[in-house]
């Protein structure tokens, strides 16, 4: 989330619109005008709350097995049915939100914290710094994302934290590359040339003029990468490199559900829908934010 809120405070600076109200308020006003984004924001808030309040909300212990109630269809007792060892799927989906959200958000934060500054540096400074960073980025990007993540997670050791770090590192190069590409485009714009001609120092131009213009496409990328990260977490859990049993994550739930698609489809439907809904909400929200943050938008 920090990646999404941070730009709101600086975005107005690069614009040459008339500032009738504070940038923060203007963003909020624009966001309010987009019902889809607001709905998505609500869903995200609900999901985050569900994750935080899982112990209060869950009707059952998510690890409590019941061998007489294995793979039962949804009912009033078990809203989402039970899984292959008789655990309540609803409770597991609630708890699973913790792992999946953490995987999505933490890995993005890692990728942004490392990727954006390095991209700015490469794009703005140029020269051998750019060359070195670009080669490294190219090399990392050239290695398939999942293979890189698998290797890193296996190397760090199998648990959720390491999986998040691995996904974050694997997602970093795309942020370096995208930031750098945008910087190169923006650098050629007239107002940046103008700012340079007036004698502004380099860091000031980078921060005040370039960064704000780089943010919108980055934000789009962030929302997309959250989707990839949630799915990457599922893949790593599948490989035994993510969440360890008995605690659930949506990814590991989907993977155990795979064997029972025809005779217990609810085991796959609900965690699948949870992933779908979460990713969709982040995407719609990111989309709304992108429009709201756009300094040139009316």
Are 96 and 253 contacting, i.e. CB atoms less than 8 angstroms apart?
yes
Q: Per CB under 8 A, does 85 bind another protein?
A: yes
Give the shortest CB-122-to-another protein separation in angstroms: 14
Q: Per CB under 8 A, does 70 bind another protein?
A: yes
Which of 16, 56, 67, 127 touches another protein (CB under 8 A)? 67
Q: How many residues bind another protein (CB under 8 A)?
A: 72
Phi then psi for residue 249, to 5 deg, are -135, 155
Give the shortest CB-277-to-another protein separation in angstroms: 8
The binding track of 115-154 with respect to another protein, each residue x by CB under 8 A or -, is: ----------------x--xxx-xxxxxxxxxxx-xxx-x
- The residue among 23 and 286 lying less far from another protein, judged by its C-beta, is 286
Give the shortest CB-256-to-another protein separation in angstroms: 6
Which of 101, 210, 256, 292 touches another protein (CB under 8 A)? 256
Give the shortest CB-241-to-another protein separation in angstroms: 8
Q: Per CB under 8 A, does 194 bind another protein?
A: no
Give the shortest CB-83-to-another protein separation in angstroms: 9
CA-based nearest residue to 178, from 146, 148, 137: 137
Give the shortest CB-218-to-another protein separation in angstroms: 11
Q: Per CB under 8 A, does 268 bind another protein?
A: yes
The binding track of 31-50 with respect to another protein, each residue x by CB under 8 A or -, is: -----x--------------
């Amino acid at each position: 989330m920090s990646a999404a809120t941070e730009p709101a405070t600086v975005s107005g600076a690069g614009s040459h619109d008339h500032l009738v109200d504070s940038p923060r308020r203007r963003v909020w006003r624009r966001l309010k005008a987009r019902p889809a984004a607001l709905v998505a924001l609500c869903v995200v808030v609900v999901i985050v709350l569900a994750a935080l309040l899982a112990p209060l909300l869950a009707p059952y212990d998510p690890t409590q097995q019941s061998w007489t109630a294995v793979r039962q269809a949804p009912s009033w007792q078990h809203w989402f049915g039970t899984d292959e060892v008789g655990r309540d799927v609803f409770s597991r989906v609630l708890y699973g939100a913790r792992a999946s959200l953490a995987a999505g958000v933490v890995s993005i934060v890692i990728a942004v914290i490392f990727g954006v500054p390095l991209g700015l540096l490469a794009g703005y400074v140029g020269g051998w710094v750019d060359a070195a960073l670009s080669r490294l980025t190219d090399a990392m990007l050239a290695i398939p994302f999942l293979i890189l993540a698998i290797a890193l997670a296996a190397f760090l050791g199998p648990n959720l934290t390491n999986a998040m770090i691995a996904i974050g590192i694997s997602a970093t190069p795309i942020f370096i590359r995208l930031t750098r590409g945008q910087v190169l485009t923006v650098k050629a714009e007239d107002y940046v040339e103008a700012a340079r001609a007036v004698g502004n120092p380099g860091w000031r131009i980078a921060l005040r003029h370039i960064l704000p213009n780089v943010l919108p496409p980055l934000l789009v990328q962030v929302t997309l990468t959250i989707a990839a990260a949630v799915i990457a977490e599922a893949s790593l859990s599948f490989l035994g490199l993510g969440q360890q049993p008995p605690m659930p994550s949506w990814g590991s739930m989907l993977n155990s559900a795979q064997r029972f698609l025809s005779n217990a489809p609810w085991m796959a439907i609900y965690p699948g829908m949870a992933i779908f809904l979460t990713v969709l909400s982040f995407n719609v929200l990111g989309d709304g934010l992108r429009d709201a943050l756009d300094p040139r938008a009316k």
